[in-house]
Amino acid sequence: MKRLFVATEKNRVTEKTEIKDIKMAHPVGYYSLSHDNALIKDMCETWGEGLEKMNESDTLWLIAKIAHQAWVECESSTAPSNEAESVFKRLHELKQWEKFALISTMVQ
């Protein structure tokens, strides 16, 4: 994740956060993913070895879809806790870069 400062109208400078830092993208093999899987191979052919060419919209959309499918397929039948639901209801309190950082934190 990297933060960029961009000039906007009337010379105001605002902060823009991107979910990916292409300089820090690891190849998929770093995460034990292999080109032996046709989907992984196709994704790398489309977006690069570290998926660095994937735009932010596609990245966020796919994260949401993959996470939802993994949650549905999870062996646990436990519903989300009240604490997790409370966090969901309060996500509006976070800046965009904080949401990205939170995703990274939870993945680790």
Residue 6 has pLDDT above 50, yes or no: no
Instruction: Please state, in angstroms and rounded to a whole number, the distance separating the CA atoms of residues 81 and 71.
Output: 14
The answer to whether the beta carbons of residues 100 and 19 sit under 8 Å apart is yes
Instruction: Supply the mean pLDDT for the chain.
Output: 85
Q: How far from the centroid of its chain's Cα atoms is residue 2's Cα?
A: 12
What pLDDT, in 10s, does the model give residues 55-103?
Answer: 999 999 999 999 999 988 988 778 899 999 999 999 999 999 999 999 9
At 21, is the pLDDT very low, low, confident or very high (cuts 50, 70, 90)?
Answer: low
